Chains A and B, each alone.
Chain A
Amino acid sequence: MSNLTLEAIELTRLFGGREAVKNVSFHLEKGEVLGFLGPNGAGKSTTMRMLTGNLAPSIGTVKICGIDMIENPKEAKALIGYLPEMRPIYKELSVDEFLTIAARLHKVPSKQIKKAVDIAKEKCGLSHMSKRLIENLSNGYQQRVAIAQAIIHNPLVVILDEPTVGLDPIQIREIRSLIREIGQKHSVILSTHILPEVEMVCDRVQIIDKGNLVFHGSIDELKQHRQGNKLLVGFSKAPPLSALKDVEGITKVEKVEAGMYRVHFKNKQPPSEAIVRLSVKNRWGLYQIAPDQTSLEDVFVQLTEKKQKN
């Protein structure tokens, strides 16, 4: 139990009778990065606002390291670093001034404030921007300031709502490695709609749609959804469908386009060899044979649509 840093228990949030988040429960362990996925308006941000105490849940509780967010908000909030969707930065201040205020408000002891500011700046690549007004920084740098603000007090749980928006590819990589680094010692919740990002950074994924959790599991489980038992085969002289169906292990053959077939197979072992052998023998002119990967996007669509039908 001591490893649990965050628990969300049956969170429900009503907005004027409409359920934005329905009965969502999950937990986070120390040293874990949890990816939070969902289409627009799914309730990602609402959930995150509830986790950070910015919004009171209609039903349910949030516990940070066992401290109830509603009963002891101050103690619980001290353990959290939060980057909201809209970056909360005071543009009239300079980077140093703003981060000092952030450190002070998060109860960093006054002797360590300067050090904390320096570390946060270094981690987010802001060291050469100390004296600049935030207003005059570019979009990407403003985002870095907002991230620095969330990690300045070295929180146990870091909650980032779309942290890589507006960053350049190099910075995105740096921030991802930063998230991994924080994730090793502490816990991170990351909401995003960039699927490869989730794959690269997160240990676990959960997908929310219309307020419901539709998937909750490790990255590997999500990948299993992705690699179905399918092969994509291309022939220059297309054989009849029935000829392929006769191959052992093949359950179904679909025509994709002229000369291209999608072959579903039963066993774990793909019947590629048999298809190649047959093609050579009958001179079908095989030019492509590859596992047919459903993209993460497709998995995402499948998962969110499946729930809708139910």
Chain B
Amino acid sequence: MILNIARKELKSLFASPMGWIILALLMMAFGSYYLTGVNNYFEVMSGAIRPAERVGVTIFVGQTVYSIASFIMLFAVPLLTMRLISEERRSQTLPFLFSAPISLTEIVLGKFLGLIVFLSILVFYIFLMLTTLNIWADIDFGYLVANSIGLWLLVASFSALGIYFSSLTQQPIIAAILSFISLFALMIMERFFASDPNHWFAYLSLMKHFQSFSRGLIDSSDLMYFFLFISTFLTLTIRRLDADRLRG
């Protein structure tokens, strides 16, 4: 059943040119950063930096692409999540899902999964793009895998939060703005605590947990953080939809 809802979401994403255009634009953006990364590598590494400080091509290009990817996703994901529930609320199609023999949990998880599948295409594309470096160089696949997992978890968290804001309102635009602002706040939160990096408040920051992935480190506490983040917002969404049924 979750799969059926996910299929429905993907179908309506790709029913209009919207899904394709978003994919194409984002891939173009990542692609161009990849090229600049490779160009910069040759320029910088050809002599500007002392041999002891030189980094490998994987880290150099990977860092460029993954840091810009996480930043672009900050804008792209709210635009994708905004319509998931609020659009249905506005066009009054929620009763279609509510009166089918599916639980609210399945509805929310299905919608989440549909979006994740869509975003996974992008994450996978970035990974594939970077592996093309292997043609000329001997690259560090572990680093790429860790970064991909990190980016994947990051966009999954963005999506979970976006879905929650989408369930709060009837206006997709409001949902997009709210989720963008809160995601942005969560991303830069640690900068406010730069003087005290171990403050518990900084620990809430999404960026702080993404950083260890971007160093190529898969830390179970970070995995746990993302897992909790996602499940918290999905649970809140289910609660919000349940309130519709209870309060009317």
Chain A residues within 8 Å of B, Cβ to Cβ? 13, 15, 46, 49, 52-56, 73-75, 77-78, 80, 82, 84, 86-93, 97, 101-102, 104-107, 149
Does B215 sit at the interface, judged by CB under 8 A?
A: no
Contacts of B246 in A (CB 8 A): 56
Looking at the complex, which one of B4, B16, B92 makes contact with A104 (CB distance below 8 Å)?
A: B4
State the main secondary structure of chain B at its contact with A: helix
Contact A92 B16 (CB under 8 A): yes
Contact A52 B12 (CB under 8 A): no
Chain B: how many interface residues by the 8 Å CB criterion?
Answer: 25
How long is the Cα–Cα vector from A53 to B248 in the complex, in angstroms?
11
What's the least CB distance linking B46 to chain A, in Å? 52
Contact A90 B93 (CB under 8 A): yes
Looking at the complex, which one of A55, A75, A88 makes contact with B248 (CB distance below 8 Å)?
A: A55
Top 8 A-B residue pairs of the complex, sorted by shortest distance between their CB atoms: A88-B96, A86-B92, A78-B101, A82-B99, A105-B100, A88-B93, A77-B101, A84-B95
Scoring B residues 84 to 119 as 1 if CB is less than 8 Å from chain A, else 0, what string do you get?
000000011111111111110000000000000000
Contacts of A91 in B (CB 8 A): 91
Contact B91 A54 (CB under 8 A): no
Does B224 sit at the interface, judged by CB under 8 A?
A: no
B16 and chain A: residue at smallest CB distance: A92
How long is the Cα–Cα vector from A84 to B100 in the complex, in angstroms?
12
What's the least CB distance linking B225 to chain A, in Å? 33
Looking at the complex, which one of B1, B12, B94 makes contact with A93 (CB distance below 8 Å)?
A: B12
How long is the Cα–Cα vector from A307 to B98 in the complex, in angstroms?
34
How long is the Cα–Cα vector from A49 to B99 in the complex, in angstroms?
9
Looking at the complex, which one of A55, A74, A82 makes contact with B103 (CB distance below 8 Å)?
A: A74
Of residues 18 through 75 on chain B, the ones whose CB sits less than 8 Å from some CB of chain A are none
A101 and B11 in contact, given A13-B248, A55-B245, A92-B16 (Cβ under 8 angstroms):
yes
Among B245, B246, B248, the one with the most A-chain Cβ atoms within 10 Å of its Cβ is B248
Contact B5 A105 (CB under 8 A): yes
Q: List 11 A-B contacts (CB under 8 A).
A: A53-B98, A74-B101, A80-B99, A88-B95, A88-B96, A90-B93, A93-B11, A97-B11, A102-B96, A105-B97, A149-B96
A86 and chain B: residue at smallest CB distance: B92
How long is the Cα–Cα vector from A106 to B98 in the complex, in angstroms?
11
Contacts of A80 in B (CB 8 A): 99
Contacts of B97 in A (CB 8 A): 105
A90 and B12 in contact, given A54-B95, A84-B95, A105-B100 (Cβ under 8 angstroms):
yes
Looking at the complex, which one of A15, A54, A56, A74 makes contact with B102 (CB distance below 8 Å)?
A: A74
Does B8 sit at the interface, judged by CB under 8 A?
A: yes
Does B135 sit at the interface, judged by CB under 8 A?
A: no
A94 and chain B: residue at smallest CB distance: B15
Known: A88-B93, A105-B8. 4 other contacts (CB 8 A): A52-B99, A80-B99, A88-B94, A101-B11
Looking at the complex, which one of A46, A54, A86, A102 makes contact with B245 (CB distance below 8 Å)?
A: A54
Contacts of A93 in B (CB 8 A): 11-12, 15
Contacts of A107 in B (CB 8 A): 1, 101
What's the least CB distance linking A182 to chain B, in Å? 17
Contacts of B4 in A (CB 8 A): 101, 104-105
Scoring B residues 153 to 165 as 1 if CB is less than 8 Å from chain A, else 0, what string do you get?
0000000000000
What's the least CB distance linking B242 to chain A, in Å? 9
A104 and chain B: residue at smallest CB distance: B4
Contacts of B94 in A (CB 8 A): 88
Contact B93 A77 (CB under 8 A): no
How long is the Cα–Cα vector from A90 to B245 in the complex, in angstroms?
21
Contact B95 A15 (CB under 8 A): no
B98 and chain A: residue at smallest CB distance: A54
Among B7, B15, B93, B100, the one with the most A-chain Cβ atoms within 10 Å of its Cβ is B100
